[in-house]
Chain A
Amino acid sequence: MTATSTRRRTGSPRPSRGSAVEWLRRPRPPLAPPRWLTIAGIAVGAAALAVVPLVNPSYINLTVTLVMIWTLVGLGLNLLVGFGGQVSLGHSAFFAIGAYAVAVGGEAGIPHPATLAIAAALPFLVGYVLGLPALRLHGLQLGLVTLAMAMATPAAIRALEPLTHGSRGIAIDGDPPAWIPLAHDQWVYYLALAAATIGYVVTRRLARGRLGRSFVAVRDAEIVAETLGVDVWRTKTRLFAASAAYAGVAGGLYAMLLEFVGPENFNLTLSISFVTLIVVGGLATVPGAVLGALFVQYVPTLTSSISPAATGAAYGAVLIAFAFFLPYGLVGLVRAALGRLVARLPGRRGT
């Protein structure tokens, strides 16, 4: 289920008995590919990602950039929900704060990549403050409070009219500085790639390190964790703040990409799609954020191209199928499909 709890299962997988559904629903350990494969995979992946914007037209770069933006949100939300066990339906609020930080900062004359720092810092602070009541709220209560946050976001943007220009929105000049010979879409792509890479690496380190284990401990057994010396108060508030910062940077990149922010960009459906992202990708797994991001970006387009009238129904059906057959998300599916193959590769380290 999680990196921590399933590691001890690493061993020769028992040959599957029983139905295909049971086979799909079984929890699995993370893939442990040999070192040469990991390095080769990273090298090829990094090279491919670096070349993508140079050889593709801007509409493809735009969708890939959106995938990286969703990935960033997913990484942060997964940290909070998957590892921390705190429900948040309100991440569109942090996303909006980040987007408006970039928009308003840009209007105030701050150069654009620098506005992304504000887009990280401001949601971090807001997240920290909101993390305080979250200490007392559990499960559905916290879900409701964060849901209220998501619902209030467009109204709050309209109410802060002197700053946000209300429903007129703010146009943003997302072009790179003059000395960088990149088109707008390529520039934002590389910014998003850098942010997503840093986010991914940091999350991986967090998830596997002492902090990650204390997150999981607080999630699974708060009292035990406290007895063992985990500072529950600090863990929770930091989690909320860090998670909000991820969403904020993603929102900032989104604003730079679209070159326009308005209250209608940040409605409840956005928050719901964030939750969909981490559930479909795989709760409490780091690669799950990437797979979930690919899902929320491309599957609605696909279902809509099959039949515009049935988009909602088709999307819903896919989600139900995930809940029933793939409780561990796309990551679980990848593990199931490749587990045996990877186990047979030469050069794998012993366990």
Chain B
Amino acid sequence: MSIAHRTGRRRALPLTVAGLAVSTLALAGCSGRDAAGADPEASATAGTGAATEAMAESCSPGFTDTEIRIGNSVPLSGPAAAYGAIGQTLKLYFDDINAAGGLELADGTTRQVNVTVVDDAYDPAKAATNVRQLVEQDEVFALAGVLGTGAAISVAPYISETGVPNLFVGTGSDAIMSLHADGTQWTIGFMPQYGFEVSALAQYLIENHPGETAAILYQNDDFGESIKAGFEAAFEGSGIEIVAAEPYEVASATVDSQVTTLAASDADIFLNWAVGAFATQSLKKKLELGWDATTVINAPAADATFFLKPAGEGAADGVVSVAYTKDITDPSLAGDAGFDAWAAFAAAHPDEVNAMFAPAAAGYQTAQLLEAALAQMEGCTREALLDAATSFDGLELDLAPVTVSTSPEYPYVFSEVKIQVFNGTTWDVAEGTYTVG
């Protein structure tokens, strides 16, 4: 009897829950954020109560007479934690400027630039939360140096709606170009566009290795396919012919068999689009097999300390890649003003900055790009910052071997790169620069 009684009550409860949920939902529907008379952007700019387009003279949130706030989300924990150095170096760079009094802007006023770095563990969901938190809670003026294609693309609609520049994101994905074409123009990529990297290298090969044959190792997905198609298109009618192509699975254990097959083609050029540890493996295997070909390697794998030298003595000699950062592991660069400035910066922060570490150098470059954009911007709005960042004209960075010129039409920092050749210990930058288009 008591059982029957209880069941009756239990059945009523879920109905109560559902009823309440439905009624509150109906209530809520009447009072959305838009209905309250505020447009979506106002929720982000509520702090200062200024709708940017209505009052062109008033400043965007995160920009005052004394301070500019910048937000950054990078992996500080998890497997990709090494890239956290980008955010940490960015913050240190501006902390130094602040300690020396601040950054002088075009209006003649000196301001503190405060960078907030938060951890996303390379999880796109966390990055999305972080970006909203930075914009709404910390009220940052702009974002800089956010890492990852997924993070950049997933926050693109949000930053476009709220009008926050997402500057110098750590990717070269062609997806940023498609976003840009669709009218979502607040994201700028820091790395050279992957398609541009291919065309620059192809042009170098056509000039320096005419009439040779090539073999390509690529990831078995649409990224790899697009690289392969890019090379094929660039070599069209040039005399260079791709005679062998081997895809590999990202989940596989080794690429040895692919390299062996490619070596059997006896091609003169080895287009090596293996990433990470696979790059090291493929170089090692190539040496073992005694395959005498010029290796061309993708930019993310072109790290001497992590991927090239571990392949063993002689394995990486003559490797070719694009250069958009000076070789920070090369002590002979001492005397170069930019390199010395970097070395001095790293020496001033021995516990935080590793002078040989590529992500730290990327953070340093991001910081200098942001510094230049802030110093050049006319006015105090986010639009002005985006304008400044897309109108660099021959900007010199301490660690870039080329000058930086940007335009509103091309959403990447580097529209010009050099080519570098590895000599076994350091990189030699080749003559000539390669321009996009």
Which of A17-25, A125-133, A177-185, A324-332 participates in binding chain B? A177-185
Q: A42-B16, A54-B31 are in contact. Are A169 and B76 (CB under 8 A)?
A: no
* Contact in complex: A155, B251 (CB < 8 Å): yes
Residue among A54, A258, A308 making CB contact with B28, cutoff 8 Å: A54
Bound CA–CA A300/B16 (angstroms): 35
A residues in contact with B222, CB < 8 Å: 158, 161, 165-168
Contact A312 B78 (CB under 8 A): yes
Chain A residues near B158 (CB, 8 Å)? 58, 259
Contact B150 A42 (CB under 8 A): no
- Give 1 or 0 for each of B28-60: 1 = CB within 8 Å of chain A CB: 110111110000100100000000000000000
**Which of A57, A66, A154 touches B43 (beta carbons < 8 Å)?**
A57
| Choice from B32, B154, B157, B174 contacting A186 with Cβ under 8 Å | B32
- Is B435 engaged at the interface, CB distance under 8 Å to the other chain? no
Contact B223 A166 (CB under 8 A): yes
- Contact of A311 with B153 in the complex, beta carbons under 8 Å: no
In the complex, A322 has a CB within 8 A of chain B: no
Pair A308/B32 contact, Cβ less than 8 Å: no
- Quick one: which of B16, B27, B128, B156 contacts A62, CB cutoff 8 A? B128
- Asked if B352 lies at the interface with its beta carbon under 8 angstroms from chain A, I say no
Q: In the bound complex, what is the Cα–Cα distance between A188 and B217 (angstroms)? A: 42
Of chain A, the residue at the smallest CB distance from B31 is A54
Knowing A169-B175, A260-B153 are in contact, say whether A46-B24 is a contact too (CB < 8 A): yes
| A169 / chain B contacts, CB cutoff of 8 Å | 149-150, 153, 175
- Cross-chain contact of B29 among A66, A181, A257, A262 (Cβ < 8 A): A181
- B-contact 0/1 string along A242-262, CB 8 Å cutoff: 000000000000100111101
Please tell me if the beta carbons of A182 and B25 are within 8 angstroms of each other in the complex. no
A299 contacts partner chain B, Cβ-Cβ < 8 Å: no
Q: Are B29 and A171 in contact (CB under 8 A)?
A: no
Residues of B within 8 A of A161 (CB): 221-222, 225
Residue contact B21 to A167, C-beta cutoff 8 Å: no
**Using Cβ atoms and an 8 Å threshold, which residues of chain B touch A201?**
14, 17-18
Q: Chain B at the A interface: mostly helix, strand, loop or mixed?
A: helix
User: Contact between A38 and B13 (Cβ–Cβ < 8 Å)?
Assistant: yes
Whether the Cβ atoms of B43 and A190 lie closer than 8 Å is no
On chain B, the residues within 8 Å of A338 by CB distance are none
Q: A42-B20, A51-B28 are in contact. Are A62 and B124 (CB under 8 A)?
A: no
Q: How far is the CA of A51 from the CA of B27 in the complex (A)?
A: 9
User: Contact at B24–A47, with CB atoms within 8 Å?
Assistant: yes
Inter-chain contact A197/B121, CB cutoff 8 Å = no
Are A46 and B43 neighbours in the complex by a CB distance under 8 Å? no
Chain B residues near A90: list those with CB within 8 A: none
User: Any chain A CB within 8 A of the CB of B433?
Assistant: no
Partner of A166, one of B18, B25, B221: B221
**How far does the alpha carbon of A161 sit from the alpha carbon of B222 in the complex, in Å?**
7
Complex contact B132–A262 (CB within 8 A): no
Is there a chain B Cβ closer than 8 Å to A334's Cβ?
no
In the complex, the chain A residue whose C-beta lies closest to that of B161 is: A184
Does A63 lie at the interface of the complex (its beta carbon under 8 Å from any beta carbon of B)? yes
Q: Is the CB of B153 within 8 A of A50?
A: no
A50 touches B16 (CB 8 A): no
Cβ contacts under 8 Å, A312 to chain B: 77-78
Given the interface pairs A167-B221, A204-B14, the reply to whether A308 lies near B77 with Cβ below 8 Å is: yes
A265, B150: Cβ atoms under 8 Å?
Answer: yes
Please, how many angstroms separate the alpha-carbon atoms of A186 and B38 in the complex? 14
CB within 8 Å for A58 and B128 given contacts A50-B24, A308-B77: no
Q: Beyond the given A158-B220, A309-B76, could you list 6 further A-B residue pairs with CB under 8 A, ordered by the A residue number?
A: A39-B13, A152-B251, A159-B221, A194-B21, A204-B14, A304-B121
The 3 closest A-B pairs by CB, nearest first: A50-B24, A166-B222, A308-B76
5 contacts between A and B (CB under 8 A): A46-B17, A59-B129, A260-B156, A304-B77, A312-B77
